[in-house]
Structure 1
Amino acid sequence: MTVQSIGDQARAFAMQAASSRIKTTLATLTAELSSGEVADLGARLGGNTQHLAGIESRLAMLTQLQGNADEAAAQTKAMGDALSAVQGVAEGLGQSLYLEPSLVTDSLMATRSAQAAMDLQAAVGHLNGSVGQRFLFSGVESDTVPLTSADNILAELTSRVTGLTTAADIAQAVSDWFDAPPGSNGFADFAYQGGAGGQQTRIGESTTVTLTTTALSPSIRDSLKGLATAALLDRGALAGDSNEGRKLLRLAGKSLLDNSPALIAEMSRVGYAQQVIASTRTQGDAEAATLQTARNTLREADPFATSTAINDAETRLQTLYSVIGRLSQLKLANYL
């Protein structure tokens, strides 16, 4: 009869290898139980990972689109806030200039004109706002500040109305400058520094939002026109002619009030874009949640099966240690 045996050193290496395998298995099972996902995904799916890859790819696309939607939502909210601020300033000053019966003293006229200059500066500041390093009202050139400063606008208008002696002529000159088409050295060339087209953002698989509102939009331009017209008295226009100065302020006030519906309509367009963005974000969140559930189902480890496997691995490890302990106590004297 042939007896097969191995030496003590070889047996030690064999026991060490067996212990290492069981410990590796135990570590893998513990990681699966804590993370809830299987370690060997290929074995779990039988090598067919195409469906999971499709889910992962679509989730990545949805994540990018949701990021675009979040950015567009922040941008439209800031645009709505800016337009609301401009509308509030323009309507408040317009009512004071056109409807205030006490606008008869030179000091009050000077106060209102100075207020108009400050309101123009505030309006330009709102329109020059930015979100995420993108200027809100610059159109396609979102990396460029849309408007020059209010002081530059008033300085340019002051030079253009110098020598005019009636409120009607000054109001017409200001209106012509603001309404001049591009290339005519008017507002579009001197004051507006953005682009002509609107900003387009893809926020859904088949949804794109185009924000066409810029500082060159007629309703915004007319608001600035009314504020600038009233501010010219503070820059020395019609000096010494209180009657014509009063007429100019009332013309400016009427212009601001007449433009209020158009500015509100512009705000409504931005509000509609916000509504589309919110609806698309909700749809995207729902689809992403469904896909994440499907992905988790493919990747998840059965906690009960994993716990059973852990117990089995622990039992095998304890048995191995018991065998190693008993073998380490063998002596030649006991054998003999």
Structure 2
Amino acid sequence: MTVQSIGDQARAFALQSASSRIKTTMATLTAELASGEVADLGARLQGNTQDLAGIEARISMLAQFGRSAAEAASHARGMQDALTSIHSLTEDMGRGLLIEPGAVTEGLVVARSAQAASALQTVIVHLNGAVGQRFLFSGTNSDTQPLSSADAILSALTAEVAGLTTAAGVAAAVSDWFDAPPGMGGFVDLAYHGGPGGQPMPIGEGTTVSLSTTPLTPAVRDSLKGLATAAMVDRGALAGNGIEARALLQGAGKALLDNSPALAVEMSRVGYAQQVIETARTEGSAASTTLQTARNQMREADPFATSAAISEAETKLQSLYSVIGRLSQLKLADYI
């Protein structure tokens, strides 16, 4: 009879290898139990990882949409806050200018005009506001401040109205300057430095929003026009002609009040964009949660099965140690 035998060194190596395999298995199972995810995802999915890859891709895409929507929400909120402040300021200023008593002194007329100039500066500060590194009302040129200073605008208008002696003439000159088309040396060429409208921003799957309000928007431009018209008296227009100066202020006040509904409509347009953005964010968040749940189910390790596998591995390791202990106690006399 042929006797097969194994040397001591070979046996020690075999036992060490078996011990390492069991310990590695226990470490893997312990990690799975702690993380809740299987270590060998390919084996879990039987090599079919296409669905998981698709889910991961959609989760990443929704995350990008979420970041874009958050940026758009901040932009729209900044625009809405600015327009709300402008609407309130111009409405109050228009009401004050329109109902100013006709018997006020020339000094009070100039003082009211100076208030209009200060209001114009405040409005321009709002329109030059930025969120992060993007100017709110610069349209496509969001990296460029949209408007020149109030002083620069009023200086340009002062030259336009020089020599005019009637309120109607001054108001018409200011209006023509603000409404002049590109290339005619008016508001578009000298005071506005932004771009046309705004670019559509993707905020969800198949959903985009465009925040296109700029100082070129009629409602916004007419607010600037009304305040600038009233500020002309403070710049020396119609000096010495109190009746025409008061008429100019009252006409500017009426223009501001007449423009108030249009400005409110522009605010509602921005408000609708905010609603679209919030709806897209809610839908995107819900879709992302659903996909993450599906992904977790595909990667989830069964805690009960994992615990049972750990117990089985412990039993194997204990049995192996028992065998090693018994082999270490063998004597040549016992073998013979």
Per the normalisation by structure 2, the TM-score is 0.94
Q: How far 1:212 sits from its partner (Å)?
A: 2.2
- Paired with 1:323 and 1:208, the residues of 2 have a C-alpha distance of 70
2:15 match:
15
2:228 match:
228
- Paired with 1:194 and 1:223, the residues of 2 have a C-alpha distance of 18
1:103/1:109 contact within 8 Å kept:
no
1:290 match:
290
2:264 match:
264
1:139 match:
139
Q: How far 1:334 sits from its partner (Å)?
A: 6.5
Q: How far 1:103 sits from its partner (Å)?
A: 7.2
Q: Closer, same or farther in 2 for the Cα pair 1:105/1:34, shift >3 Å?
A: farther
For residues 302-335 of structure 1, give each alpha carbon's deviation from its aligned partner in whole angstroms, at most 9, with x where no partner exists: 1110111111122222332333333334444666
CA RMSD of aligned residues (A): 1.9
Q: Closer, same or farther in 2 for the Cα pair 1:108/1:315, shift >3 Å?
A: farther
1:33/1:306 contact within 8 Å kept:
yes
Helix, strand or coil at the partner of 2:46? coil
- Paired with 1:115 and 1:259, the residues of 2 have a C-alpha distance of 19
Q: How far 1:257 sits from its partner (Å)?
A: 0.6
- Paired with 1:156 and 1:103, the residues of 2 have a C-alpha distance of 31
Question: Structure 2 matches for 1:126-205, cutoff 5 A?
Answer: 126-205=126-205
For residues 123-179 of structure 1, give each alpha carbon's deviation from its aligned partner in whole angstroms, at most 9, with x where no partner exists: 111111122322211112222211111111111111211222222211111111011
Helix, strand or coil at the partner of 1:199? coil
2:116 match:
116
- Paired with 2:103 and 2:71, the residues of 1 have a C-alpha distance of 46
2:58 match:
58
2:255 match:
255
For residues 224-273 of structure 1, give each alpha carbon's deviation from its aligned partner in whole angstroms, at most 9, with x where no partner exists: 11111122222222233333222221111111111000000011111111
Q: Percent identity of the aligned residues?
A: 68
- Paired with 2:126 and 2:310, the residues of 1 have a C-alpha distance of 63
1:103/1:246 contact within 8 Å kept:
no
> Between Structure 1 and Structure 2, how many residues are aligned?
336
1:32/1:301 contact within 8 Å kept:
yes
1:303 match:
303
2:69/2:281 contact within 8 Å kept:
yes
2:273 match:
273
Question: Structure 2 matches for 1:89-128, cutoff 5 A?
Answer: 89-101=89-101, 104-128=104-128
- Paired with 1:154 and 1:325, the residues of 2 have a C-alpha distance of 99
2:144/2:193 contact within 8 Å kept:
yes
1:73 match:
73
- Paired with 1:171 and 1:12, the residues of 2 have a C-alpha distance of 104
Per the normalisation by structure 1, the TM-score is 0.94
Q: Closer, same or farther in 2 for the Cα pair 1:160/1:15, shift >3 Å?
A: same
1:4 match:
4
Is 1:83–2:83 an aligned residue pair? yes
**2-11 vs 181-190, greater mean Cα deviation:** 2-11
Helix, strand or coil at the partner of 2:14? helix
Amino acid of the structure 2 residue aligned with 1:246 = R
Q: How far 1:45 sits from its partner (Å)?
A: 0.8
- Paired with 1:108 and 1:299, the residues of 2 have a C-alpha distance of 77
For residues 165-218 of structure 1, give each alpha carbon's deviation from its aligned partner in whole angstroms, at most 9, with x where no partner exists: 222211111111011112211111111111123221112222221222111100
**191-200 vs 83-92, greater mean Cα deviation:** 191-200
Q: Closer, same or farther in 2 for the Cα pair 1:320/1:110, shift >3 Å?
A: farther
- Paired with 2:174 and 2:219, the residues of 1 have a C-alpha distance of 15
Q: How far 1:301 sits from its partner (Å)?
A: 0.8
Amino acid of the structure 2 residue aligned with 1:159 = A
Question: Structure 2 matches for 1:36-51, cutoff 5 A?
Answer: 36-51=36-51
Amino acid of the structure 1 residue aligned with 2:225 = K
- Paired with 2:318 and 2:99, the residues of 1 have a C-alpha distance of 94
Amino acid of the structure 1 residue aligned with 2:128 = N
For residues 86-131 of structure 1, give each alpha carbon's deviation from its aligned partner in whole angstroms, at most 9, with x where no partner exists: 1111111111111233871334323322222221111111111122
- Paired with 2:113 and 2:79, the residues of 1 have a C-alpha distance of 27
For structure 2, list consecutive stretches of 5 or more residues without a partner in the other structure: none
For structure 1, list consecutive stretches of 5 or more residues without a partner in the other structure: none
Q: How far 1:83 sits from its partner (Å)?
A: 0.6
Amino acid of the structure 2 residue aligned with 1:158 = T
2:239 match:
239
- Paired with 2:321 and 2:91, the residues of 1 have a C-alpha distance of 87
- Paired with 1:101 and 1:91, the residues of 2 have a C-alpha distance of 18
- Paired with 1:166 and 1:325, the residues of 2 have a C-alpha distance of 115
- Paired with 1:124 and 1:131, the residues of 2 have a C-alpha distance of 16
Q: How far 1:220 sits from its partner (Å)?
A: 0.2
- Paired with 2:195 and 2:103, the residues of 1 have a C-alpha distance of 40
Q: Closer, same or farther in 2 for the Cα pair 1:217/1:5, shift >3 Å?
A: same
Helix, strand or coil at the partner of 2:209? strand
